Structure formats: C-alpha cells, structure tokens
A and B are shown apart, each in its own frame.
Chain A
Amino acid sequence: MSVKKDFLVEIHTEELPPKALSRLAKSFLQEVEAHLVKLQLSYKEAVFYATPRRLAVLVKSLMSQQPEAHIERRGPAVSAAFDGEGKPSPACLGFAKSCGVSVEQLITIKNNQGEWVGFQQRVPGKTVQELLPTIIQESLAALPIPKRMRWGSGTVEFVRPVKSVILLYGDDVVDAKILGVRSGRETSGHRFHCKKIISISRPSAYVKYLEKGYVIADFERRKQMIAEQAQAIASHTFDADARVEISAALLDEVTGLVEWPVAILGDFDQRFLDVPAEALISAMQEHQRYFPVVDKHGKLLPHFVAISNIEARDMQHVIAGNERVLRARLSDAAFFFETDKKQRLEYFVELLKGSVFQAKLGTVYDKAVRLSTLAGAIAKTIGADETAGARAGLLAKADLATAMVGEFPEMQGVAGSYYALNDSESRDVANAVKEHYMPRFSGDAVPTNKISCAVALADRLDTLVGIFGINQQPTGDKDPFALRRAALGILRILIECKIDLDLQLLLEAAVHGYQCSLENTAVVEQVLNFILERLKPWYQEQAINPDVFASVAALGVTRPYDFHRRIQAVQRFKQLPDAESLSVANKRVSNILAKYDTPIDAKAVNASLFESDAERELAQKLDVFDRVISPLYHDARYVDVLSQLADLRKPVDDFFEKVMVMADDKAQRENRLLLLTKLRSLFLQVADVALLQK
C-alpha cells in the first residue's frame, strides 16, 4: 500500500558561490521534481531552501511507491501459434521464451480484429527508498555548475566540498552515498552561533530546527528580511526621507552571503561626497557588498548599510571594521580623482600612445585621432555640431589613461565625463565621453543625444573595420573583440535613435580613417554583411515574424533605420484584410516573370493593345498609384504606401480572373508582362510581399 510522507534532502557544504546560489537551488528543485514526475511519484508540492552552506529541497506528501505497472505484450496470432493438434508452433515457443515464461502461462488477447497469444504482467512500483538515491545523484550531477572542484584525496566533484547529506523520508533516513558522503539526519547550524549538531527528526521540522540554530533556510524570506532590515535601520537613524538603494542583483548576492542577517549602519567622511558618486557606489556595491543610502532626491548620503552574519557581542566593533575598509577604498578613489584633475583630460590623450589598441592597428591614441575625424563627420551628417563631435571623439578614450580608471575599471567613461566637465568642456562633449559606451549590454539604453550617438557609432565602426581589416573576424564562439555586440550596438543606435544613415557610406568613411593600411580589401562588404546578419536574430527576439523580416531583407537595404520602417510598414500591412490576396498575387506575378526567360522587346505599356476592361482598369490604377505613392515613398512613409497599394486588390484580382497573360500574340503577351512588372515594382519599393506567409 502506498502512503504519503514528506521528503527532505539537504546537501551541507562549505561556503557556496553567492551569486550562483539561488540559481543552483532552483535547478536542484527543478531536477528533483522532473525526476519525480518522470517516475510517476506524485507529491503535493516541493520547495527549495538555500543558504551559503546548504542546498535543500523539501517535497511534501510524496507517494511512498510508484504505481503498479501493467505490461502487456502481443505475440503471434492464435492460428499461427498452435498447429491442428494444439501443439505450440516455434513462433509461439519463441515468444514465450522472450517473455521468460512457459507457453502455459501465456494468455489469449481478443478483440474485434482477431485473437493472439499474449503475455501480461503486473510489475510492482519501486519504493522511494530505492529510487531517491539515484534521483538525488542525478539531480546533483545535472546542476549548472560552471566549475566543479575536487578536495582532499577524493575524486568526487561538486561546487564546494560536501560536509554532510540529509535524506529523510518521513521519520526515516534513506540510506545512500551522495557525493562521497553517507546520508543521515544531521546537519550544522550557524558556523559561529550554533555549536551543536542539529538532528532533524522529520522533514517538515527542518526550517524550524535550523532557525533555532541561527539559520534562516528560506532564501526568499532571508532576502526579504535583509531588505526590510536595511530600510528600517536607515529610516530609524535618519529622517523618513533617507532611503537605502537596493539593487536586485546585490540583494541576491548578499542573501547568498549570510545565514543570519543583521543589518548594520556605517558612515563615511562627508568629504568623500566630492568624489564622483559612481565611484563611491562602485566601491560600496561591487567591492564591499554594501547598500548605499540616498536622500529623497536620490543624492548619495555619507552612510552605508552592511549585512553582517552575526549578532556581534559589540556591534560597534564590526561597524568600525567595515568603516575602516571602506575608508581605505574611498581614500584611494578620492586620491585618484584629485590627482587626475590636476591635468586636463586632453593631457591623457597623449598618454594613450602608451597603450596598444591592437598590435597591427596601432595605439589607442591612433584610435582616438580616427574617432575624432569620424565622429565629427557623422555629427555633421546628422545635423549636429561637427566640432563637438570631433572633440568628443578625441576625448572619449582619454580616461583609460587616468589613475581613477586604472583602479576602478568600471568607471571608464564616467570618470572622463567628470573630468571633461571640470575642464569646462561642453555638456554634450562630456555626455558623449560617458555615453559612447552605450549600449553596453543587451537591454541597455542607447545614447541620449546626437553627439553621443556620433561617437558611439564611430567607436564601433572603427573597431569592426579595423579587426576585419586585419582578417581577425570572429569565428565560432570566439569573439575576443566583442564584434557581435559592437555590430548590434550600431544597429540599435541607428534604429532606436532614428538616424537614417547608410551603413555602406559609414563603413567607407571608417575605412578611410585607416588610410589604406588595412590588408583586407573586401572589408566594407564583409563588415556590412556581418552587421546586417545581426538584424535577423534581433527582430526574432522582438517577435517579428520571419516572413516579415524576409520580405524586407530581400531588398538589400543598407540603411538600418529605413529597414526598420519598412518592417513596421509590412507588419501593419499584414493586418489589412487585402494583404493575403495581394501577397498571393505578388507571388503569382513573381513566378510568371521568373519563368518567362525570353527577352521582352516592348519598351512600355501600350494602352491600344488592351482587350478587356480588367486590363485597362489595372493599368489606369497603376498609373494613379505610381503618382500618389511617389511622394510618400520619398518621405519613407511606407505604412501609407502599402495601405494605398492595398486598394489594388480588386483590380488585380479582376485582372487575373479575366485576362490570360500568356497570350499567343507576342505584342499582347509582352504588354501584359510589362503591366505586371510595373505592379510588382510598385510593391517592391517597400518590401517583397510575395514572401509573406498566411
């Protein structure tokens, strides 16, 4: 008889990687559940627990045994199984043997199609005691662990060394060896607050027992406690307007660093607030895992919240220690900031001569000079100040030579922007120094103004052209210069900032910056294709149907923003009631024209050759639309173009219904083909709608 009991597994380890912790625990849960489902072991619900020193899963009301399985096999037909005397045939004997039974044990299976000998067996389900060890072993083996490690003299591999394993079904230990450790019911509590071994009597008591041992096992609950404590300690100490900045990623990480969270509030010297806020925040968040405190306007206050793992005998001592560490870091930042500011940002451009961009492509200084020219030119083309573009291009990389960025690499761009403002460079230039790195990752924002866009484009174009120029284009998953990201960045900037520039021309300008020094002469074409190839996956991500994409891609448009507007137009067109029929008509026209391989002698449509009204009507409509659409097309109002063309449905349908294109008379045939060519080219101005699917 199957009963239902709770099941608990805990893998107790040395400290796990905090950033990966919740992902590991969730995967563990998923794997265990997937195995249970696959093995038909039903249960009520399953949850995970995770702390720096343990991964656990609790399954509630887990069936103690798999359901009994009925196996039925069909052998030869009864007529073929026995001879006239009722003796079994060789086929029948063979079947019985394959089932591992004698002929007498076979049964007869009957249905309206006939009779067969058969074999039926009831296989009792396996018990959880038998199945759980393998389930756990396989689940652990499937965890997404980037680097597994060994320890001691053993060969077992896991995230970190394993100390103990709990496997409890109901009140009973499920005996197994997991990751080299014999299972049991014992675990440890908090590393310092709980000296005793904790023995878990039954799975449901796990959380409670651990809490007595100063461990909050539930990841989400601990996370919430941290957020609440952090906010509370700041609000109690300061007025209600003080707010703790809690980034989701840092909160997750901190939750992975403590078993017993205790928020503490520390201060730093007011004078550090003169240092760029980004540097202070980076020191607090990245290096120390502290939460910054801000006022109601989001302005940084000279305080921080740290999450300790103990209820210390003297909290002041812990606070003082943390303050001392932060002070050292901030003094560094302040020192670098002051030192850098003694020079103008321009001064650091010279120093870029000392750092190599790429051995064959010269120094970062050379790049800065090229950026200046290219960004200036782009700025001018898009109606922004050429001088500002050139200035921003020249200064964009200067901060790479500053002490601040040397120490805090994540300050690149930001530091330069502060120094630019300090030097009284224009706000646009300062902004561009910071924003030209955007978008830095998928989902990041694009630059906010034209000068920034000009430099951002120039930077990426220069890198792409340079690296392709020396034949080091990415292969497979090797993309050391992040050229794919650069290519997508260019597309996103052009499209999202609505900059209607031709990539072909941009690339030619970028190549020009290298002054004929690039060995690869096909560089423009290759980079152009490389960039345009990024469009497909990008549109796919945005749920644009492949046929819509293909209809525009077929045209070979090299202006990404123009490409984008066509995509939008086709999307809209596809919603129209006439779209499907027109797409079909285009397909038909396209096929007719493709099949007709004889050169057409006629030069223009000749109205006098028309025989039917359908022909006349279509010809007249095409003339009208040609005139109406032309200005729309020139303004790139593709949505309007296509919605106008939708009106062609009736004349086109009539035409195909009433007119025979492939007339015997050559003049008439050619006249009709010309008419269709005209129809087709009207559509092809925007997209090849023949490629649309239903």
Chain B
Amino acid sequence: MKKTIYDVKTLQGMIATLQAYWAKQGCTIIQPLDMEVGAGTFHPATFLRAIGPEPWRAAYVQPSRRPTDGRYGENPNRVQHYYQFQVVLKPSPDDIQDLYLGSLHALGVDPLTDDIRFVEDNWESPTLGAWGLGWEVWQNGLEVSQFTYFQQVGGLECKPVTGELTYGLERLAMALQGIDNIYDLVWSKSVQGVVTYGDVFHQNEIEMSTYNFEQANVDLLFQQFYAYEQESQRLIELGLPLPAYEMVLKASHTFNLLDARRAISVTERQQHILKIRRLAKAVAESYYQAREKLGFPLLQDKKHVS
C-alpha cells in the first residue's frame, strides 16, 4: 500500500485514510446511520447484513452515543458522543488480521515501533441477542480497536461468519497524535489554523451531559419507550423488518437515556433488555425471511467491472 496522501495526524485525515484503505480491500463505503445508536454494530450495514448467507463488505464511520459516559466535558478520556470506524467482512477472510494490520500501517503505525497486541475480548450484546469471540487490539497498552468474529446475531447462527473491526477513532487519534486530552485532538489543519476536537464538541459534551443526567424527561422517555416497542411489534407483524428495526434502535437509545437518569431499577433493567432483545430477534428472523423471499440477491453472480 502506498503511503496515504492524507495527513494522518488529523482526525479527518485518519478517517479519509481508513476509507481509502478499506475501499481498496473491496469494501463498500457506506455513510453513517442517521439515528442515535450506541455503536457501529447497530447500523443495518452490520447488524442486518450479518444475517443470512449473502456475502458483504462494508466500512463506515458511525457517530455513537452512550449517555452514561458523559462527563460534562471535564474528563480527558471520556465522552458521551464519539466516533467509531466500522469494517465488516463477510465471510471473514483468512487474512483478516493482516488486513487489519495493513490499515494500521496505512495510518503510519509501524509494529516494530508500536507494540501491537491482540488480547482476548469476547463480545456479547444482550439487547441484540448477539455474541462473538475476538480481541481488543492494543497499541502500547491502549485499546484502539475491537475485533469480533460474529457467532450469533439476533439469535440466529452466523453462517458464514462476519468479521467485525471497530476502531475507536478518538483513542487511535490520541495515540497517533501523542495527546493526553481528547479535546486537544487536532481535527483539521487549514489556512485558518488548527481546529481541535474541543472546538467541535466541547460545548456539546457539557450540554448533552446536562440533558442526559439532569434534564431528560423521564415520563416522556418511558412513554416513548413503550410506544417504540409497540410500533416495532406492529411493523414486524406487517412484514416490515427495516422500519421495525428502526423502532428497536429508538427504543434502545431511549432505554440508555433512562439508564443515565437512573430511572431504571436492576430488575426492571433486565426486563427492558429482554424486551429489546425479543424485538431484535423478531426483526432478525423477519429480515432473513424477506431476503430469502428475494432469493438472497447478493449470492447471485455479480457483474464484474472490466
């Protein structure tokens, strides 16, 4: 791989580099899901595409929200809104680890300068009825990526297995830029000067933390949660897995906000998670059937670009 033309010492340069690299590996570069989600896994391009026999390669940035991680802009490492760069390869190729290391190389990481390690980390999402085995990837002791071989999604066995790579963009950028405080990250350098992560997001972290922990309307959120849940159920029955899935995502984020407001007791918590999981499973099955009805289009021979 030729050295990147982008400045990997900026956040935007990193993203551009990763997109170019994975496009070259045959990934379709998708855009972020326009909804609040806790991780790139929730994007239909991962969650739904991991279901069924159709091959799939995609990469995208996903803004992710974890309301309980808000720290009012005061913690140098933790934010309630951040970015993941997500890559899915289905079926997982034999050289998937090498492909991943190639992407680090494209970002200027030299594995004899930085100590890169694959450390066991098994993933389970109770809300998605999904689990997989894999690693967190360490760069000098810092977890910069998650690496998972999906075994089950929405309660369905993954055949073939999807390999999922998730880069924590801010962490990786902090390591590449040698910076201790997330808000000092260089987002871009231009003739107008340097734009930092703080310039873009600091105010957002303060206001959103205030909203998540203090102002989110608990009664309204509960109403919404139940409404999304019912709506999802209704849509599943109508054989509309995609809109039903959006309702699951909305319910899931609403649940996270209620959690941040500490409005959910331990036992209720379990019940709500089970509700979301039931829906996610129903969506998964419904999606599988819909693809089956279409004859699993991506399994068909594709036209090749000459």
Contacts and interface: CB of A to CB of B under 8 A. Distances in A.
B138 to A, nearest CB: 9
B270 to A, nearest CB: 10
Contacts of B161: 149-153
5 contacts: A160-B133, A321-B141, A325-B140, A356-B266, A359-B265
Contact of B160 (A152, A193, A335): A152
Interface of A: 14-19, 52, 147, 149-153, 160-161, 163, 191-193, 257, 288, 290, 306, 308-314, 317-318, 320-322, 324-328, 331-332, 335, 354-356, 358-359
A313 B267 contact: no
A326 B141 CA distance: 9
Contact of B141 (A288, A312, A356): A288
Name the residue among A19, A150, A257, A322 with the largest chain B CB count within 10 angstroms.
A150
Contact of B120 (A18, A290, A312): A18
Given A151-B92, A321-B141, A327-B180, 14 more contacts: A14-B118, A15-B120, A149-B133, A149-B149, A151-B161, A152-B92, A153-B159, A312-B114, A318-B113, A321-B139, A324-B140, A331-B77, A355-B266, A359-B265
Given A192-B112, A312-B113, A359-B265, A306 B141 contact: yes
B119 A328 contact: no
A322 B138 CA distance: 10
Contacts of A335: 75
A257 B175 CA distance: 21
B7 to A, nearest CB: 20
A260 to B, nearest CB: 11
Nearest to B131: A147
A173 to B, nearest CB: 21
Given A321-B140, A325-B141, A326-B141, A309 B149 contact: no
Given A257-B117, A356-B266, A153 B160 contact: yes
A288 B180 CA distance: 17
B140 A151 contact: no
A149 B267 contact: no
Contacts of A147: 122, 133
Interface string B10-21: 000000000000
B237 interface: no
A161 B163 CA distance: 12
B180 A310 contact: no
Majority secondary structure of chain B interface residues (helix, strand, loop or mixed): loop
Contact of B115 (A160, A288, A312, A359): A312
B267 A358 contact: yes
B209 to A, nearest CB: 14
B141 A192 contact: no
A325 B142 contact: yes
A149 B161 CA distance: 10
A310 B160 contact: no
Interface residues on B, range: 35 or more
B113 A313 contact: yes
A253 to B, nearest CB: 10
Contacts of A331: 76-77
Given A152-B161, A310-B111, A318 B140 contact: yes
B110 interface: yes
Contacts of B120: 15-19
Nearest to B135: A15
Contact of A318 (B114, B151, B158, B163): B114
Q: Which 5 A-B pairs have the closest CB atoms?
A: A321-B140, A15-B118, A356-B265, A153-B160, A17-B120
Contact of A309 (B78, B110, B117): B117
A322 B265 contact: no
Nearest to B68: A406
A328 B262 CA distance: 26
A15 B77 contact: no
B76 A328 contact: yes
B141 A191 contact: no
A14 B266 contact: no
A371 to B, nearest CB: 18
Interface in B140-165: 140-142, 149, 151, 158-161, 163
Contacts of A356: 265-267
Nearest to A307: B115
A354 B175 CA distance: 38
Contacts of B118: 14-15, 52
A464 B93 CA distance: 51
Contacts of A312: 112-115
B34 interface: no
Contacts of B262: 354
Given A18-B119, A310-B115, A355-B266, A321 B175 contact: yes
B115 A308 contact: yes
Contact of A152 (B94, B97, B114, B142): B94
A9 B111 CA distance: 29
A666 to B, nearest CB: 68
B77 A332 contact: yes
Contacts of A311: 112
B77 A328 contact: yes
A31 to B, nearest CB: 22
B128 interface: no
A152 B89 CA distance: 9
B91 to A, nearest CB: 4
B116 interface: yes
A274 B149 CA distance: 42
A257 B159 CA distance: 30
Name which of B78, B117, B140, B159 has the most chain A CB atoms within 10 A of its CB.
B140
A161 B134 CA distance: 10
A364 to B, nearest CB: 10
A355 B160 contact: no
A288 B140 CA distance: 10
Contacts of A326: 141
Contact of B119 (A257, A290, A306, A320): A257
A312 B266 CA distance: 47
A32 to B, nearest CB: 24
A313 B114 CA distance: 9
Given A14-B118, A152-B160, A153-B160, A321 B265 contact: no
